[in-house]
Amino acid sequence: MDQKDLLFKQIFDTNSKKIFHLCYGYTGDTDSANDLLQETFLKVWQNLDKFRNKSLISTWIYRIAVNTCLTYLRAEKRQAKDELTDNIIENRVEEFSEKNEQVALLYKSISKLEENDRLIITMVLDELPYNEIADISGISEGNLRVKIHRIKQKLTELYNQHARI
């Protein structure tokens, strides 16, 4: 196995869970999230030689994943994943628990946000440092703080709205 293969495997093992979580946040279903995860890492493999350590490799992969998710949503002309998120709730009756219900509501609430807000909040939820989020999203750190505050409020509001229904 050559150096590139080893590096790729290391990168995949370190980052795949976070990226999958991100994709899951976007799509709301496991199969689409898996497809997007694979497309992201396919891209990583194809471009690994061109990565020049100008940013953290995790930031670089996040950026690819975010673009993959956004492009996927736009290309498929998918609206917020109401149906799929509803499916999560319906199809997992056997796994029903208060926590599962809360998780489903969380994904449903995230899906109601605008695409870019969704991208930012998933990174906030994953506790990425602000400078990394700013780097990935292309927003200055000052503006980002304001934006994040607003998205947090909106998400909390949406979540509480859904929880009351």
Token pair for 163:
């929880």
Choices 4-12, 78-86, 89-97 (CB under 8 A): range interacting with another protein: 4-12
Least distance from another protein to the Cβ atom of residue 93, Å: 18
Q: Which of residues 18-47 bind another protein (CB under 8 A)?
A: 20-21, 24-25, 30, 33-34, 37-39, 41-43, 45-47
Least distance from another protein to the Cβ atom of residue 25, Å: 8
163 lies in the site for another protein, by CB under 8 A:
yes
Residues that bind another protein (CB under 8 A): 5, 8-9, 12-13, 16-17, 20-21, 24-25, 30, 33-34, 37-39, 41-43, 45-47, 49-50, 63-64, 66-68, 70-72, 75, 99, 102-103, 106, 124-127, 136-138, 152-153, 155-156, 159-160, 163
